[in-house]
A and B are shown apart, each in its own frame.
Chain A
Amino acid sequence: MADLDTFRSETRSWLEANCPAEMRTPPKSAFDVAWGGRKAEWASPEQKQWLDVMAEKGFTVPTWPKDCGGAGLSKAEAKVLKQEMRALGCRPPLMSFGITMLGPVVLEYGTDEQKRKFLPPIARGDIRWCQGYSEPGAGSDLASLQCKAERDGDDYVVNGQKVWTSEAHLSDWIFCLVRTNSDASKHDGISFLLIDMDDPGVEATPIELISGASMFCQTFFDNVRVPVNHRIGAENAGWTIAKKLLQHEREMLSDPGGSGSPTGARKRGTLADDARLSLGASEGPLPDTALRERIARLELDTLCYKATLTRSADGAKAGRGVGPETSMFKLYMSELNKRKSDLRVRIRGANGLGWTGEGFARDDLAATREWLNSKAESIAGGTSEIQRNIIAKRVLGLPD
């Protein structure tokens, strides 16, 4: 315990000395946090400076081993770091799919050489990664993917198409599921490849969404050569790794205020305050009683969901392992977020109907876009229907 206390005071003074004042205010949007990469655009010099000092210290990935760019901290120490950062109001220095999704599987399945090659650039924010999983013909049925990698000497030659590759146009490398054996059953012919998007055979084009945003791309591969030693795990054993990675993704997506819900951290009035303003109502019970009931229902559901997260965390703390309740997190969180986004627009009435420009406050426009964006929550990372299939099979043991 004494060691932990020492670590806490050292960490606090280090953060005080090294975190620029500009990085101690809450991020206004996901763009106020650095995502790194060769094409990174820095919101301010301090943002870059903050990332560099944190990376130097290994604090962008505190629990990773030192030779992989981390600080080799224990879970308890990493928690202290998080607490001290929160106490000072420090922004996360770096967010990336490399940290939350790829890193953990490279640590688990990669060779020592792969760890040393791929992990430090993730930790420093030098390389930005995106995920190449879905294809036009392989969405919920991901394992039917067709993007092909054929062996040619020490390389694979990759041909095919990926879709819903988040921020592919801003990324440097892509971790991909590819078919390396077309004769085997669909789950047994998949491999996990790391591909440099600088290759002229790779092309990423953004897709415009219903919200007007374009954070997803279509990514095409035309005779792209990938060295065999850029494959994680054994050939045709990629499905196990893919599932593991999806677990990390779902954990990220079901963490309220985590990077899956960047707007979760934003400070707002309560739904009831917004409703009061929007209805022009004074104190007392909201006059629109059905709306009031809807708000109460959402708040109560959120309270129950948070209680479930706490219960799960308490179980883990007590060494009870992962309880069956964790399987519902992604499903319930995404449906909750959708309802919340919907309710925000509903409450705003006419103010929630703007698309762009004059006549609407920034917050109101953002609420409208967020409502549209939120529809992706129950689709990305495994649809809600797929989550129900998983619960029925894995947790409830219902027969196929």
Chain B
Amino acid sequence: MSLILSEEQELLRDTARDFVQEHLSVKAFRAIRDQDVADGFDRKIWAELCELGWAGIPFSEEVGGAGLGFAELGVVLEELGRTLAPTPLLATVALGGTAVALAGNETQQKEILTAVCAGERLLALAFQETPRFNPEVVETRAETAADGYTLTGEKRLVVDGHVADTLVVTARSADGSVGLFLVDAGAAGLSVERTRMVDSRNAANVRFDGTPAQALGDPTASAAVVDEVLDRAMIALSAEMLGGIQESFERTLQYLKDRDQFGVKIGTFQALKHRAADWFCEVELARSIVLMALRGVDDAAPNLPQLASAAKARTSDVYIQSGEEGVQLFGGIGMTDEEDIGLYLKRARVTELWLGDGDYHRHRFATLEGY
């Protein structure tokens, strides 16, 4: 598949950009943050977004989806990432929804994904246990019960966990295998504690104490599926990060053209020009690898895990670089809450460490390549 957007994808991008500018601008993000909205997002806007069909982009038409792919999902996520838009799209569609689509049996897919596409159900993927990302550690236990399973354990950094109607949870069975399980919000022995993140992203710590759960598909056969889900999660997150990277770069570039010091625009200084040029290269490289990874999902690329790590390593490094360069080049004003650029630095930090930073992914890439 081509690494440039098709005409249809460009149309989708333009629609998404218009919608996001109108309803989900950085101003809207600030309003949600400053008013301390309990859900952490605007349900009315979410309903409109679902009416546009975005919640069903990668899902089949049988469940009410658009039957498109990650390439299209990535287009929308990038636009949402540009304005730090608070929506449950990433957690519900790209993470939870993808898990259901990959691992769920026919009944589960039909029931859950139909509700997701209709905007009637929110999902969250609960996988992280260690403070620093290490998906090999899964101590949450799944025990068989009369009517399915019970889960016991704790998960952290569950994005949108506080609003999810259904949690998709990784847990280890008695035989040692790791599988995926479904837990309904409000289930007995489930406690969900919303966490206030530095970037005002919505997340939660979740505790299971003999909480009733249902296996997603066959839990003993899904160890490989967990990896596949995480690969896709990394790639989708990278697409969102690309939007933030592009936006923070463009905003800083504009500032270099606008700001006067020593009687000239600061963009005339070669020390800053060279930094901008190097930064531009990094942005372009990030765009290329994200596009390649998104298409890798749709084309079932045999090296998808490598592409996922390549994309997440790059966007992690470049987003942090963008946030840091942005604040530095804006100077004093960049340190204020009033100026938006600092919001991107904070979002960069959270998205960098979520699902593995550059160091983690270089380590993973080397392991995947056998060295």
Give A residues with C-beta under 8 Å from B: 270, 272, 275-276, 285-286, 292-293, 295-297, 299-301, 303-305, 307-308, 310-311, 314-315, 317-318, 320, 324-325, 328, 331-332, 385, 387-389, 391-393, 395-400
**A301 to chain B: which residues have CB within 8 Å?**
285
Contact check, B277 vs A293: say whether CB atoms are below 8 A apart.
no
Q: Can you list 28 A-B contacts with CB-CB less than 8 angstroms, sorted by A residue number?
A: A270-B371, A272-B370, A272-B371, A292-B366, A292-B371, A293-B362, A293-B363, A296-B363, A296-B369, A299-B369, A300-B309, A300-B310, A300-B362, A300-B365, A303-B310, A304-B310, A304-B314, A307-B285, A307-B288, A308-B287, A314-B4, A318-B4, A331-B277, A388-B277, A391-B281, A398-B256, A398-B257, A399-B265
Given A296-B362, A395-B280, A398-B267; A305-B285 close (CB under 8 Å): yes
B245 within 8 A of A: no
B261 within 8 A of A: no
B225 within 8 A of A: no
**A395 to chain B: which residues have CB within 8 Å?**
280
Binary CB contact string for chain B from 288 to 327 against chain A (1 if under 8 A, 0 otherwise)? 1101100000000000001001100110000000000000
Residue of A nearest to B367 (CB): A285
B157 within 8 A of A: no
Residue of A nearest to B270 (CB): A389
Binary CB contact string for chain B from 3 to 38 against chain A (1 if under 8 A, 0 otherwise)? 110000000000000000000000000000000000
Contact check, A314 vs B3: say whether CB atoms are below 8 A apart.
yes
The smallest C-beta distance from B13 to any residue of chain A, in angstroms, reads: 14
**B314 to chain A: which residues have CB within 8 Å?**
300, 304
Residue of A nearest to B278 (CB): A388
The smallest C-beta distance from A318 to any residue of chain B, in angstroms, reads: 6
**A331 to chain B: which residues have CB within 8 Å?**
277, 281
Docked pose: A196 CA to B281 CA in angstroms: 41
The smallest C-beta distance from A130 to any residue of chain B, in angstroms, reads: 30
**A318 to chain B: which residues have CB within 8 Å?**
2, 4
Docked pose: A385 CA to B369 CA in angstroms: 34
**B264 to chain A: which residues have CB within 8 Å?**
399
B274 within 8 A of A: yes
B276 within 8 A of A: yes
User: A396 contacts which of B265, B280, B292 (Cβ < 8 Å)?
Assistant: B280
**A385 to chain B: which residues have CB within 8 Å?**
274
B105 within 8 A of A: no
Residue of A nearest to B303 (CB): A303
Docked pose: A297 CA to B313 CA in angstroms: 9
Residue of B nearest to A388 (CB): B277
Contact check, A286 vs B267: say whether CB atoms are below 8 A apart.
no
Given A272-B371, A314-B3; A392-B366 close (CB under 8 Å): no
Contact check, B281 vs A398: say whether CB atoms are below 8 A apart.
no
Given A300-B365, A385-B274; A324-B288 close (CB under 8 Å): no
Contact check, A304 vs B274: say whether CB atoms are below 8 A apart.
no
Docked pose: A303 CA to B363 CA in angstroms: 16
User: A398 contacts which of B273, B310, B362, B366 (Cβ < 8 Å)?
Assistant: B273
**B306 to chain A: which residues have CB within 8 Å?**
303
User: B289 contacts which of A299, A307, A317, A387 (Cβ < 8 Å)?
Assistant: A307
B284 within 8 A of A: yes
Docked pose: A296 CA to B253 CA in angstroms: 31
Give B residues with C-beta under 8 Å from A: 2-4, 253, 256-257, 264-265, 267-268, 270, 272-274, 276-278, 280-281, 284-289, 291-292, 306, 309-310, 313-314, 359, 362-363, 365-367, 369-371
The smallest C-beta distance from B334 to any residue of chain A, in angstroms, reads: 18
**B256 to chain A: which residues have CB within 8 Å?**
398
Docked pose: A106 CA to B191 CA in angstroms: 75
Contact check, A392 vs B276: say whether CB atoms are below 8 A apart.
yes
Contact check, A388 vs B289: say whether CB atoms are below 8 A apart.
no
The smallest C-beta distance from B153 to any residue of chain A, in angstroms, reads: 29
Docked pose: A285 CA to B280 CA in angstroms: 34
Given A328-B281, A385-B274, A399-B265; A276-B371 close (CB under 8 Å): yes
The smallest C-beta distance from A8 to any residue of chain B, in angstroms, reads: 23
Contact check, A297 vs B362: say whether CB atoms are below 8 A apart.
yes
Docked pose: A377 CA to B274 CA in angstroms: 18
**A275 to chain B: which residues have CB within 8 Å?**
371
**A396 to chain B: which residues have CB within 8 Å?**
253, 273, 276-277, 280
Docked pose: A311 CA to B267 CA in angstroms: 29
User: A317 contacts which of B2, B253, B309, B366 (Cβ < 8 Å)?
Assistant: B2
**A300 to chain B: which residues have CB within 8 Å?**
309-310, 313-314, 362, 365
**A310 to chain B: which residues have CB within 8 Å?**
3, 288, 292
Q: Beyond A293-B359, A398-B272: 6 further Cβ-contacts under 8 Å?
A: A272-B366, A296-B369, A300-B313, A308-B287, A389-B277, A392-B276
**A332 to chain B: which residues have CB within 8 Å?**
281, 285
Residue of A nearest to B264 (CB): A399
Docked pose: A329 CA to B284 CA in angstroms: 11
Docked pose: A399 CA to B258 CA in angstroms: 10
Contact check, A392 vs B274: say whether CB atoms are below 8 A apart.
yes
Contact check, B366 vs A295: say whether CB atoms are below 8 A apart.
yes
**B276 to chain A: which residues have CB within 8 Å?**
392, 396, 398
Contact check, A299 vs B365: say whether CB atoms are below 8 A apart.
yes
User: A295 contacts which of B285, B286, B309, B371 (Cβ < 8 Å)?
Assistant: B371
Docked pose: A399 CA to B256 CA in angstroms: 9
The smallest C-beta distance from A136 to any residue of chain B, in angstroms, reads: 24
The smallest C-beta distance from A60 to any residue of chain B, in angstroms, reads: 31
Docked pose: A387 CA to B276 CA in angstroms: 12
The smallest C-beta distance from B77 to any residue of chain A, in angstroms, reads: 18
Docked pose: A300 CA to B358 CA in angstroms: 11
The smallest C-beta distance from A42 to any residue of chain B, in angstroms, reads: 42
**A276 to chain B: which residues have CB within 8 Å?**
371
Residue of B nearest to A387 (CB): B277
The smallest C-beta distance from B258 to any residue of chain A, in angstroms, reads: 10
